[in-house]
Amino acid sequence: MPPGSAQPTASGDSGNTDEQDYAGTPRPDAMFPVLDDGQLAVLSDVGKEWDQSAAAPSVWRSALPVDPALGTYPAPDDFRPARLTRFVPVAGRGGQLPPIETTSSAEALPTAAGRFGQRLKRALFGPPLDASAIAVERMRKLIALPVLSADALSSVAYGPEAMLAVLILAGTTGLSYSLPVGSAIVFLMLAVGVSYRQTIRAYPQGGGSYIVASQNLGRIPGLMAAAGLLIDYIMTVAVSISSGVASITSAYPSLRSATVLIGVVVIIVLLGGNLRGVRQAGTLFAIPTYAFIAAIGALVIAGLVDAAGRDFHPVPAHHLAATQAVTVFLVLRAFSSGATAMTGIEAISNAVPSFKRVEWRNARITLSWMIALLISMFAGILVITKLSGVVPESNQTMLSQLAHVDFGNGSAYLFVQAATAAVLLMAANTSYNDFPRVLFLMAGDEQAPRSFLHIGDRLTFNTGIVLLSVASALIYVGLNGNTASLLPLYAVGVFLAFTLSQTGMVVHWRRHHDQPHWRRSLFLNATGAVLSGIVFVIAGATKFTSGAWIALVLMVLIVVAALRIRRYYETAKQELMLLPGETGGPATVTVPVAPRRQRPGSGGPATALQRDWNAEAAQHPDQVDALTIVPVATLDRPAMRALSYAAALGQPVLALHISPTDEEAQRFSRYWRTWGDHLPLEIMVTPHRAYVAPLVNYIWTLHRQRPDLTLTVTVPEIVDRHLWHTPLHERVVPRLRHALQALPGVVVTSVPFHLGQ
Amino acid sequence: MPPGSAQPTASGDSGNTDEQDYAGTPRPDAMFPVLDDGQLAVLSDVGKEWDQSAAAPSVWRSALPVDPALGTYPAPDDFRPARLTRFVPVAGRGGQLPPIETTSSAEALPTAAGRFGQRLKRALFGPPLDASAIAVERMRKLIALPVLSADALSSVAYGPEAMLAVLILAGTTGLSYSLPVGSAIVFLMLAVGVSYRQTIRAYPQGGGSYIVASQNLGRIPGLMAAAGLLIDYIMTVAVSISSGVASITSAYPSLRSATVLIGVVVIIVLLGGNLRGVRQAGTLFAIPTYAFIAAIGALVIAGLVDAAGRDFHPVPAHHLAATQAVTVFLVLRAFSSGATAMTGIEAISNAVPSFKRVEWRNARITLSWMIALLISMFAGILVITKLSGVVPESNQTMLSQLAHVDFGNGSAYLFVQAATAAVLLMAANTSYNDFPRVLFLMAGDEQAPRSFLHIGDRLTFNTGIVLLSVASALIYVGLNGNTASLLPLYAVGVFLAFTLSQTGMVVHWRRHHDQPHWRRSLFLNATGAVLSGIVFVIAGATKFTSGAWIALVLMVLIVVAALRIRRYYETAKQELMLLPGETGGPATVTVPVAPRRQRPGSGGPATALQRDWNAEAAQHPDQVDALTIVPVATLDRPAMRALSYAAALGQPVLALHISPTDEEAQRFSRYWRTWGDHLPLEIMVTPHRAYVAPLVNYIWTLHRQRPDLTLTVTVPEIVDRHLWHTPLHERVVPRLRHALQALPGVVVTSVPFHLGQ
């Protein structure tokens, strides 16, 4: 496991510990930091300073004016029951624990809009799920095989075609290279498959490329693998959907003009389904893959039977004019295009814990089956394509052409197309599980924004799901849903991740001499790594100008962003950690704490008491020296309430009036005396009728005088019942809040006054 | 003067009192309410309750920890002088008055963006102006005539053409009605002109339609007049610009395709110029109008000379096929189209105080001159059009055709076109003064949003200027800058305002029997009113389907909106006014004020002390019962500072932790005990990982328990130095603030913690 995600779970009471170990399993408390012993010691120190506080612990200890445990109060007369039932007390009261538990209806904001939004959300995405529903479904091999191999097997729908589409550039001569290049890819599949068998044994808790590369190679290779994977998952969605749509439009050519629209609708459906949180496994999910295997099997067998009738003489194709010569570059490009048929091969090694026991053994058997199927289907398609003389066309997929040749136009043809579209949809859906999980792991290591740690109320990683949808939709629409344009962006990410993951395994075996057969495993992983690395270089080089550069640039950007995010979080974490107390800590305080009451009662401000620190350094109440500033425009109820509120806090208060003219200033001053001049007042005349900026500058200057002082700007704010009344008031408070946000030590308190209550 | 704008100006020390009386003169303190005696008495009562406060007046009276007068402190080491000089103390310190005066640089926010924005603003719009710069320029008649009549005189650029464009529908027969219809319009001009002469005498302080109609007819007629005027001013901009652009494209037909673009650019230039605040009068402004008068004069004379050579036989036009018969409807429509030449006739009566003394006499003389010029130019154009056989064309304005006929293509022709375009631009600019002024008057009567009262730092009504630009640009672009399409929307508003204004004058004279010649004035105004009313009805009816309905609907909407705004402000004002104290006021408090310390020290909450009022009713500190709620996610520095801040206020504090799981809840509870359990803590478990809504619901329930309690939600908020770090934190505070805004009595305090300081 990568460093950051290995958080001690102090509770440790969940029965299924091995499931908890599944890398990438959502943890609902992932966003809540765990304090280590050092931090706990500091916390205790800080607490001791509170014990000696000159402030008012008696007030803190006195009874609260409300019952914090709720519910023991009779409902007021106007208290609507629908609202009351929002809080269901689940356990005894009085103590602080066990805590109050809210019901799901408490998750709607207590406004009409909030309730409507909640109801809409429920209707679209279903009721919220308890965290206890997090569980990894254990799969039999017969279910695991189709579920986990949909991504890999569906690749044969576009891989062979992509390869032939390159070779055909060299005409009939070029096409004659199809079987040699195909054999090289089959060898590669075998080598990578065997290599991943080693990973499964070494990482029974799930060995995704990010984890393996991070643990064995270090942070940056880990991030490179993660970047490759993220691009890969985005491209899997875009390519699978474009290929799936192509298999539909091959059968119904009239839909071809709607390619982009259909794809976007499919992405929206996937987004909705995944926000709802679809089940990952089950018989239903097995059907498309088995149907696709059956369809390709039938296609190949029918093609071979057909060819047997011709004594295996290929149907002579029209002579194809060569637009390019057969060069090494062309052959390599065909090879890297065909290698897209290998995408998704790593899925089983990620998901070892979801197998029945003994997990790693079952996973290896399933992987072997998958590789066998993948090779058979890939090779079968290439062979019957050769025999039937079919060549790639832009209007129809090659699978569709082959199905037409074998089965005509009947229901068997439609079955092939439907099964292809279905398995590609499944493959796209796979990315919706894997993409957010990689980001969750990265966020756990503080290498991605923390919001990817957040688990929605349907136990889904909503941020990641939305990001994947947006990214894949952008790429899909940007390239017009054209599979041929999308594929060049695809292979580089996959093979970078493969290479790093398998290189990581090599390091792993070198570190674990104690494991049985480590030498053999090391050799097999090394072979896989070298071959994958070669393919990565070939893919990057041969497709660089046709799109691979985009993928490469994106990967670099992701790695750089992740490193910067990590640095940011590291710095922020240091800054946010509690400081040791005044006795043991750094000399943040040079002047002894002086309670407010000791201040000289007359004349100028108490410079002598000024502390050479920032007001935000305060960690206990005696360190908070406060001054409340109340900007007052007129002496109406909201202003009087704000003044009362400020005065009731028992801190020094300074009222501030900003006036456009001397006359108005004098008038206001008279009003202030009429009221009784209870609080110090300062009037500022701004001859140019600006209000917010002079106020901010004034407060800023006060802050400069005493940076150790917490200035609380208490602003009366009129709140309207209706949104459309907003333009009828000057909205000063939001502007003030925004402008004051840059100033340290300034607290903005808005004291609302509700109209029409 | 309308009721609301007649605010007592207590200062009354400005020397030029008669200028202050000028209706619509900007008052910088218009947004600051003046309290009447009743309110002052209440204010004094409330102050007496503060005198008896059990709260801490000693704290209020003690020296402030800062010097509120600023500037007596030496600059700290890191205090940059450029910032320090922002505050220039203009007068003695120590007392509260004279107040601190800010310099203009204090009006930039103390951030880089703020300073850049300020510098950009200065570059575009010039340095800020002191309110003392508000002055009405006194004009000689020779300057006043061109400045104030640009709008009216420029109307002859499109009025006659619009009339003939209707008559031509009935072919040659139709055109023969041009002189009779024209004569009717000339008569109308005379009658309305004479009528406005009466207004000038009665309203030497400026008698706009809104003021006259409001004062004499009541609120709704006043608003109807205002609505008519507002539409009128918007249409003046749109029509003048479209007509001005047409006179340019007549000379340079290749520009015709850019009509919309040129118009929008002109509107943007007018917007910028008016935000900068252009001078309203001066020799420069006289040039376009005099040039236009000269141009039309030359045109008419040349045309007459030409016709004299033919013994005043009209040039025989091609026979024009009639597409419509000459009906009463057609003639009336031609009449109402031609009557657009009268728009702007009211300008002089609005601006009486800007004349030299004796103002009303000079204004009347100028008005007579203007009417004479208007009639001459209008009649002259009609006559020479008839004589020269020119008919309206869609590609070229009629004035351009006439100029071609008279002057060929030379510089004389170009002079006519340039003068026309210039005077039309001046006319559009006139609206930029009048439109915001009407809204200022309406806002003073609380019949328009208060932001129209605000005077920008260039002494301009920015809100109104922007609104006018947007509205006229929308209409201009929507109708493709086509004068013929724009005109039907124009006349109705003008004539409604004319009618109401002159009807108001009738009522005025009936009320002022003491005035000399009141009977004659009444008769003249009544004539004007009846004639204007007839034109209004004709214009509304004959052009209803071609666009007048839009203007009528807009006017109704404006009146309805103004009435609702007024009702809103009335209600709000009542609610915002200070309530009389507990002794004299309504029984808002049923339980005697109980200082916090008397609360029972144990057990449940102090229900017995609950007051049956809303927390927002508090008017003095003893009425504020506060509970501070500190939501805490983790015990880091921001949280500890928020807790310290809350505890230092000496009010009861309740910490609140929202946890996704029981395990996390127990863990947090342990941390809390490690710290020392200094403050009451409540933990809420939300099984579905929602945080904001349960928090809001919890606070909402507490509020229901004690609606008299002010709940201060004190939230630690991490502030980043850079905007782009924002996505790296969960932004809970804004969502919380938004959600809590609906709850009365809940104060949201965000305690910022700045990273990277």
pLDDT tens sequence across A239-271: 999 999 999 999 999 998 899 999 999 999 999
DSSP state of B48: H
CB atoms within 10 A of CB A278: 16
**Cα-based distances in Å from B526 to A619, B118, B533:** 79, 53, 10
- List the single residue in B86, B700, B750 with the smallest CB-CB distance to A747: B750
Range from A356-365, A629-638, B119-128 carrying the lowest mean pLDDT: B119-128
Chain B contacts of A50, Cβ < 8 Å? 647, 675-676, 678
Are B336 and B535 a contacting pair, CB within 8 Å?
yes
Which one of A69, A565, A619 has the shortest CB-CB distance to B640? A619
- Classify B749 as helix, strand or coil: strand
The residue with greater pLDDT, A140 or A631, is A631
Q: Which residue of B has its CA nearest to A73?
A: B705
Give the model's pLDDT for residue A134.
63
Burial bucket for residue B180 (CB in 10 Å: 0-12, 13-18, 19+):
exposed
Distance, CA of A512 to CA of B191 (rounded, Å): 108
Flag if B674 and A451 touch (Cβ within 8 Å): no
**pLDDT tens digit sequence for A302-327:** 999 988 888 888 877 667 777 888 88
User: Over pLDDT 90: what percentage of chain B?
Assistant: 32
Contacts of A586 in chain B (CB under 8 A): none
The DSSP output letter for B24 is: T
pLDDT over 90 at B740, yes or no? no
Q: Given an 8 Å threshold on Cβ–Cβ distance, is A742 in contact with B110?
A: yes
A-chain residues near B719 (CB < 8 A) = 741-742
- Closest-CA residue to A55 (of A648, A620, A578, A647): A620
Tens of pLDDT, residues A374-400: 999 999 999 999 888 888 888 889 999
Residue with tokens 């006439």: B402
pLDDT for B202 beyond 60: yes
Residue in B104, B105, B686 to test binding to A, most A beta-carbons within 10 Å: B686
Mean pLDDT of A214-219: 92
B13-50: pLDDT as tens digits? 333 334 445 666 667 777 777 888 888 888 888 888 77
Q: CA torsion, points A615, A620, A623, A627, in degrees to nearest 10?
A: 70
Contact A102 B684 (CB under 8 A): yes
Residues of B in contact with A616 (CB under 8 A): 637, 641, 752-754, 757
**B449: nearest CA partner in chain A:** A728
The reply to whether residue B675 touches residue A129, judged by beta carbons under 8 angstroms, is no
Is the separation of the CB atoms in B714 and B629 below 8 Å? yes
Query: What residues of chain A lie within 8 A of the CB of B450, using their CB?
Result: 728-730
Q: Test A35 with B635 for CB contact under 8 angstroms.
A: yes
A688/B618 CB distance under 8 A: no
Please report which confidence band the pLDDT of residue A217 belongs to, taking 50, 70 and 90 as the band edges. very high
What's the pLDDT score for residue A53? 67
**Which chain B residues are within 8 Å of A106, Cβ to Cβ?**
686, 693-694, 697-698
Give the whole-angstrom CA distance, residue A656 versus residue A701. 14
Q: Which of A107, A116, A619 to mutate to test the interface with B (most CBs of B within 10 A)?
A: A107
Give CA–CA dist B75/A336, Å, rounded.
Answer: 68
Question: How does strand A746-754 pair with strand B746-754?
Answer: antiparallel
> Which pLDDT score is estimated for B581?
62
User: Which chain B positions have a beta carbon within 8 Å of A571's beta carbon?
Assistant: 755-756
List chain A residues with CB under 8 Å of B722.
none
Kindly list the residues from chain A whose CB atom is less than 8 angstroms away from the CB atom of residue B683: 96-97, 99-100
pLDDT tens digits, one per residue of A36-74: 888 888 888 888 877 776 655 666 666 667 666 664 333
Would you call A679 and B601 a contact, using CB atoms and an 8 Å cutoff? no
Cα A740 to Cα A734: distance, rounded to the nearest angstrom:
10
Q: What are phi and psi of B73, to 5 degrees?
A: -85, 140
Which residues from chain A sit within 8 angstroms of residue B97, using beta carbons?
665-666, 669, 683
B651 contact residues in A (CB cutoff 8 A): 59, 648-649
Please tell me the predicted confidence (pLDDT) of residue B102. 55
| Dist CA B659 CA B656 (whole Å) | 10
- Which residue of chain B comes nearest to A649, CA vs CA? B649
Look at strands A100-102 and A87-88 and give their pairing. Answer: antiparallel
Nearest to A684 among B102, B622, B676 (CB): B102
Q: What is the pLDDT of residue A744?
A: 82
Residue A65 preceded by cis peptide, ω within 30: no
Write the CB contacts of A560 (distance below 8 Å, at least 6 apart in sequence): none
The DSSP code for B634 is: S
B751 phi and psi angles, rounded to 5 deg: -100, 105
DSSP state letter for A75: P
Tokens at residue A649, please? Answer: 């806090």
Q: What is the pLDDT of residue B15?
A: 36
The complex scores an ipTM of: 0.80
Contact A162, A335 (CB under 8 A): no
Interface contact flag, B63 A701, Cβ < 8 Å: no
Q: Which residues pair with B712 in a beta bridge?
A: B628, B747
In the DSSP assignment, the letter for residue B660 is: S
- Beta-strand relationship, B681-685 and A709-719: unpaired
Query: Among A542-556, A647-661, B420-434, which is the least confidently predicted range?
Result: A647-661
Q: Do B675 and A11 touch (CB under 8 A)?
A: no
Average pLDDT over residues A344-360: 84
- Nearest 5 degrees, angle CA B183-CA B405-CA B263? 80
- Distance between CA B555 and CA B470 in Å, rounded? 17
Whether residues B65 and A599 touch (CB distance < 8 A) is answered with yes
> What distance in Å separates the CA atoms of residue A361 and residue A51, rounded to the nearest whole number?
59
- Give yes or no for a contact between B565 and B449, defined as CB atoms under 8 angstroms apart: yes
Facing A742 at nearest CB: one of B111, B682, B755: B111
Alpha carbon B322 to chain centroid distance?
47
The larger pLDDT score, comparing residue B86 to residue A499, is at: A499
Residue of A nearest to B749 (CA): A749
For residue B435, give the nearest of B160, B229, B628 by alpha carbon. B229
Cβ distance B606 to A63 less than 8 Å, yes or no, reads: yes
Q: How far is A465 from chain B (nearest CA, A)?
A: 16
pLDDT digits (tens, 9 = 90+) for B225-235: 999 999 999 99
Least confident of A88-92, A549-553, B101-105, B362-366: A88-92
Locate the chain B residue with the closest alpha carbon to A113.
B739
Torsions phi, psi for A628 (to 5 deg): -100, 130
C-alpha to C-alpha distance for A462 and B479, rounded to whole angstroms: 46
Q: Helices A491-511 and A209-217: crossing angle, nearest 10°?
A: 50
Average pLDDT, chain A: 80
Cβ separation B645–A663 shorter than 8 A: no
The pair phi, psi for residue A746, each rounded to 5°, is -105, 120
- Asked if A676's CB is within 8 angstroms of B44's CB, the reply is yes
pLDDT band at residue B371 under the 50/70/90 scheme = very high
The residue among B31, B85, B678 with the most chain A CBs within 10 A of its CB, best to mutate, is B678
With bands split at pLDDT 50, 70 and 90, how would you rate the model's confidence at A582?
Answer: low
3-class secondary structure, B753: strand
Helix B219-251 × helix B462-478 angle, to 10°? 60
- How many Cβ pairs closer than 8 A exist between chain A and B? 579
